[in-house]
Structure formats: C-alpha cells, structure tokens
Amino acid sequence: MKATWKLADGTEISAEIANGTNMMQAAVDKNIPGVIGECGGCLSCATCHVYVDGAWLDKTGSADDFEDAMLDVAEAERTDASRLSCQIEASDALDGLVLIVPQP
C-alpha cells in the first residue's frame, strides 16, 4: 500500500508500505521527521502521534481505551483525528492513507 505523511512545513513524503507493517515502524524506516516511536510500538509512549486525514478516519477506526489514555500524554495538541501510528496497520484497505505529523 502507499502512505503519505504531511509535515508541518508542507513537505509530503510518500512510500510503499508492506501489508501488516504498523505505520509507526513504516515512518521510522522511512525517516519521517517527528515520528520517533521510542517504545518500538509497544503502546507505552505517544512519540508516534499523528493526525489521520479526515478522508481516512472511518477506515482507520478509533483508538481503543488504552490508546486513548496514551494520547492524553502526547506532546502535540490532541484532536479527534489523533492516533498513535503504531496502532494503524498497513493493508490494502488503507492504500493511499494520509497521515499528518503534528508540530510539537
């Protein structure tokens, strides 16, 4: 699948991502600035916080209770589009996904 990350400065970075890869790992592998993933995708930090583009909100689903709690400690402002990218898994259904990297 293809994913695009939009950075605060307007830069867009797109990459092909293998199905089954979480979007935090994909961002780290592609050196996406602002997506750190300190915990390695273990859902114990919020350093992979992103905003899901509005067109993709229904397809990515909503945060579960634990992810919801972790989003409360995200450095950047939390919005209705906030997700931890480690909890979004690449799939054919998400081909074309757009994620916005928040400015801390």
Is-above-0.85 flag for pTM? yes
Q: For position 103, what pLDDT does the model report?
A: 87
pLDDT digits (tens, 9 = 90+) for 55-75: 999 999 999 999 999 999 999
Alpha helix (H) ranges present in 3-104?
23-29, 57-60, 65-71
- pLDDT at residue 104 is higher than 90: no
Instruction: Pick the more confident residue, 41 or 104.
Output: 41
Q: Where are the domains of the chain?
A: 2-95
Contact 90, 26 (CB under 8 A): yes
Q: How crowded is the C-beta side of 91, counted as CA atoms within 13 Å?
A: 7
30, amino acid identity: K
Who contacts 65 (Cβ-Cβ below 8 Å, separation ≥6)?
none
CATH (one of 3.10.20.30, 3.40.50.300, 3.60.9.10, 3.90.420.10) for 2-95: 3.10.20.30
